[in-house]
Structure 1
Amino acid sequence: MQKMDSETIMGGVEMPVGTVVSQTRQQVKRLNDFALTLPEVKNVQMFVAMQVDLQGGGGAEMQSHLGQLVLELRAADKRNADGQRSSDELLSELREFSRTLHGVNSVSWDSMNGGPGGRDIHIKVSGPDFEELTEVAKELQQTLDSYTGVFDLDDDHDEGKREMTLRLKETARPTGIDEARLGTHIRSALYGRESHRISRNREDIRVMVRYPEAYRASLYHLESMWIPTAVVAGVRSWVPLNEVARFEPGEGFTAVHRSQRQRAVSVFGAVDSEVADSSVVVNRVREDFDNKIAPNYPDVRIEFLGNFEERSKAFGSLWIAFPVVLVLIYMMLAGLFRSYTQPVVVMAAIPFGLLGAIVGHWITGNPITILSEIGFVALAGILVNDSLILVDFINRRIRLGENSFEASVSGARSRLRAILLTTLTTASGLTPLMFETSFQAKFLVPMAVTLTYGLIFGTALTLVIVPSLNLVFLDTKKLAGFEDDPDDQ
């Protein structure tokens, strides 16, 4: 499943959580300026403090540490005619330049292609213990990093901002201080509490009372804070904060992801189609996880999403559609010939046509895509037409009194012109599409190759193989003691 030469490249920039917009803009601007120096780039769109999912559901994530670039390239056929680089070659150069950026968590590049959407590698790790999930995510990234052709590895677990968690000590209970009183007082000191409102120009302005900015920015002043106790006998006391609560430093969450009501961490990656295949990489990861990682983390499970999931859905439906098509064709032919075995002779052209389609992809150098697979299903119905005309004509000649051999030879000779004209007119109509070089038409070229080469290859064999198989069928029928009329069984 090779990728085609794309005309759009997308880049995602992720800075450390909490980075101000100006610093994010500075790094994205460096990438933007470098992209404009490439002769193959026609236009660049720069997004700061947001990322848009252009290949998935179209959602957007807006945070100060995120950035995105969308590069519009010259048309693929014009770049090819001028000897310029392909989208894959440009991706390699952009990744090399991205490695020179400092203070950046990750920079990922991808090209916009047709077919199933999603990332090449998208592994969701879920389980009850979040610490185990992060460890498994790291081990998966190390495993993927050892594979040839895998790059742009990242996960969606980012280190959050530093935070301080306050937990009450047992000594706080006699003072009447509980979590609600503690939280209310600290919030009032840092965020503020509304004392009153004043009206100005028909608008209400809230007046907030809180600590001075210098105190609010210092952890020392937080630890030195005094907390009011509950009122006892009309008297309120004050106690130091560090005597009723303990401080636990930690980090906050940038986002919380879940799968099946359990915490989850996703691992992402890209695959160079010239070096490796994403389906092969996914299968290797599954084996390595089952053999090396899963025994140490029995409660952790993984699922493969992204391009692998979408492609599995697409090809899964074809695995159902193709047998259904064959059964329907067989049922209609069985009703026409009033035979259970002669429809198999007519349908014998289908495997040869599929072989011709595969050879056609090899000759033209086109990848076998999802549209090629859809073309296989359509080809099965088209190939039966020529075989049906030929076998029906042979049956008619036999009913007129000719023996089976003479009927097969004269039938193939008489129907040669009609079969060839049917195939050539269809192939001639599809041939211009095969030589179309525009990016939009390239998605349909594999289907045109499937139909054209499958028809030509299948027709050539139909004129030789189908009459021969029909003779075998008729001779077997005689040996079995049935009537000579092929429609009487």
Structure 2
Amino acid sequence: MNIDRVRANREGISTAQIGSEVRTAIYGAEASKFKTADDEYPIQVRYAEPYRSDIDAIVNAPLTFRDATGAVRQIPIGSVADVTYGTTYGGIKRKDVKRVITISSNVLNGFTGPDVVANIQQALKAFPTPAGYTIKMGGAQENQKETSDFLPLAGLGALALIFLILVTQFNSFSKPVIILTEVIFSVIGVMLGLAITGMNISIVMTGVGIIALAGIVVKNGILLVEFTDMLRAQGMPLREAIILAGRTRLNPVILTATAAILGLIPLAIGLNIDFYELFNSGNPHFFIGGESVVFWGPLAWTIIFGLSFATIITLVVVPVMYLLSETLKGKITGKNPDHVATLSEEVDSEEIHAASPRVLV
């Protein structure tokens, strides 16, 4: 509706009054509320269906106003406005002070969001974008991009904190590095598992699973390294200490990894049991799958693949790296790696050195 501003100003009518009258005719205005004991409902007053769908009826609707003399007058809307037909938008939406038009759609069964986004981005390359306009993906794709940008920082932060704690615990630089190599093994295991099974990578849940693995798999390395240090502190040679530590910690490492893997299997396959009906009627409504497995499945399988591969590799690679590290350290410092002085030995040696007479030549 195009308002004749000169005529409306002469009559003392504002554009807001005209717009309000048209909106009331089509959409209605709240006249009162109908209250019940539990709730209240607004009462909307508007034109009946035949009239609010008729352009002529709306244009000829009376516009009631008070003129400059204070008298109440009525004139038809058509006397201060006319109607033209065209294509436009029902409203203007903005984001970051820029006008935006949002096109959205659901994803049909048999397709995934990333696959659809990839096809859209491929089609947009051949789409002639006018000057001054930009096209970008929003919604779930935008949130996924923000999450994928944040996950590497979170992973590096987690590794830095783990490394700092291990350095303070072992008072060494090489041993935390040996332990943190398990994180690399776990990532390799995740990629191998996904490649062999043909599963799709979920940027968010797979990334969260890899970060969670960083805190899980280092536990096995800590068990091996710490127990080896304890045996060496008791006077056992380096190679024998490594062999005994691996043999002794074999069962705890395998049992803890197996328990974690078996505990994640129901989450990975979407095992569902209705315990209420199981105890009430004896029918557990047992089934596998469902909507939960779509969300939690990638996280569970990521931890399962990474933990399985890292556990097997840890039992072989960590002792070998420990042996090579201590051997190389002994060659550099000139100390025998098979001998690690205990606290009592250090104290005794200091006392003997202090008590021995000094001879000057």
User: Residue 345 of structure 2 corresponds to which residue in structure 1?
Assistant: none
Q: CA distance change for structure 1 residues 280 and 176 in 2, over 3 Å: closer, same or farther?
A: closer
2:209 equivalent to 1:375 = yes
2:223 equivalent to 1:424 = no
Distance (whole Å) between structure 1 residues aligned to residue 314 and residue 291 of structure 2: 34
TM-score w.r.t. the length of structure 2 is: 0.62
Distance (whole Å) between structure 2 residues aligned to residue 263 and residue 283 of structure 1: 21
Q: Deviations over 1:393-423 (max 9, x none)?
A: 2223333444433332333223222222222
Q: Shift in Å at residue 461 of structure 1?
A: 0.3
Q: Deviations over 1:156-198 (max 9, x none)?
A: xxxxxxxx424357xx79x9567659x87xx79x97xxxxxxx
Larger radius of gyration: 2
Q: Is the 8 A contact 2:235 2:340 kept in 1?
A: no
Distance (whole Å) between structure 1 residues aligned to residue 290 and residue 306 of structure 2: 24
2:245 equivalent to 1:411 = yes
User: Residue 266 of structure 1 corresponds to which residue in structure 2?
Assistant: 102
User: Residue 461 of structure 1 corresponds to which residue in structure 2?
Assistant: 313
User: Residue 250 of structure 1 corresponds to which residue in structure 2?
Assistant: 85
Alignment of 1:125-164 (within 5 A): 164=1
In structure 1, stretches of 5+ residues that fail to align are 1-163, 192-212, 224-229, 232-240
User: Residue 324 of structure 1 corresponds to which residue in structure 2?
Assistant: 157
Structure 2 counterpart of 1:462, one-letter code: T
Q: Is the 8 A contact 1:371 1:447 kept in 2?
A: yes
Distance (whole Å) between structure 2 residues aligned to residue 365 and residue 334 of structure 1: 39
Distance (whole Å) between structure 2 residues aligned to residue 256 and residue 309 of structure 1: 22
Structure 1 counterpart of 2:4, one-letter code: R
Structure 2 counterpart of 1:360, one-letter code: G
Alignment of 1:83-482 (within 5 A): 164-167=1-4, 180=14, 247=82, 249-251=84-86, 253-269=89-105, 273=111, 277-281=115-119, 284=122, 292-293=128-129, 296-298=130-132, 300-369=133-202, 370-435=204-269, 436=271, 437-442=288-293, 443-481=295-333
Q: Is the 8 A contact 1:337 1:487 kept in 2?
A: no
Q: Shift in Å at residue 362 of structure 1?
A: 4.2
Distance (whole Å) between structure 2 residues aligned to residue 217 and residue 447 of structure 1: 57
Q: Is the 8 A contact 1:371 1:446 kept in 2?
A: yes
Q: CA distance change for structure 1 residues 346 and 179 in 2, over 3 Å: closer, same or farther?
A: same
TM-score w.r.t. the length of structure 1 is: 0.47
Alignment of 1:34-45 (within 5 A): none
Q: CA distance change for structure 1 residues 406 and 222 in 2, over 3 Å: closer, same or farther?
A: closer
Q: Is the 8 A contact 1:361 1:446 kept in 2?
A: no
Structure 1 counterpart of 2:84, one-letter code: P
Percentage identity across paired residues of the two chains: 23
In structure 2, stretches of 5+ residues that fail to align are 26-49, 61-66, 69-76, 272-287, 343-361
Q: Shift in Å at residue 384 of structure 1?
A: 0.7
Q: Is the 8 A contact 1:375 1:450 kept in 2?
A: yes
Q: How many residue pairs align between the two structures?
A: 280
Distance (whole Å) between structure 2 residues aligned to residue 469 and residue 167 of structure 1: 87
Q: CA distance change for structure 1 residues 473 and 219 in 2, over 3 Å: closer, same or farther?
A: same
Distance (whole Å) between structure 2 residues aligned to residue 220 and residue 447 of structure 1: 61
Q: CA distance change for structure 1 residues 180 and 481 in 2, over 3 Å: closer, same or farther?
A: closer
Distance (whole Å) between structure 2 residues aligned to residue 413 and residue 427 of structure 1: 22
Q: Deviations over 1:212-243 (max 9, x none)?
A: x99x96759979xxxxxx99xxxxxxxxx99x
User: Residue 43 of structure 2 corresponds to which residue in structure 1?
Assistant: none
Q: Shift in Å at residue 334 of structure 1?
A: 0.6
Q: Name which of structure 1's ranges 434-443 and 330-339 shifts more when overlaid on structure 2.
A: 434-443
Distance (whole Å) between structure 1 residues aligned to residue 225 and residue 311 of structure 2: 13
Q: CA distance change for structure 1 residues 253 and 339 in 2, over 3 Å: closer, same or farther?
A: same
Q: CA distance change for structure 1 residues 217 and 321 in 2, over 3 Å: closer, same or farther?
A: closer
Q: Shift in Å at residue 364 of structure 1?
A: 4.7
Structure 1's consecutive aligned runs of 4 or more residues displaced over 6 angstroms after TM superposition are 220-223, 485-488
Distance (whole Å) between structure 2 residues aligned to residue 286 and residue 221 of structure 1: 42
Q: Deviations over 1:340-376 (max 9, x none)?
A: 2220101111111222233334445543333333222
Whose RCO is larger (CA < 8 A, sep 6+)?
Answer: 1
Q: CA distance change for structure 1 residues 287 and 397 in 2, over 3 Å: closer, same or farther?
A: farther
Structure 2 counterpart of 1:446, one-letter code: P
Q: CA distance change for structure 1 residues 410 and 167 in 2, over 3 Å: closer, same or farther?
A: same
C-alpha RMSD of the superposition = 4.4
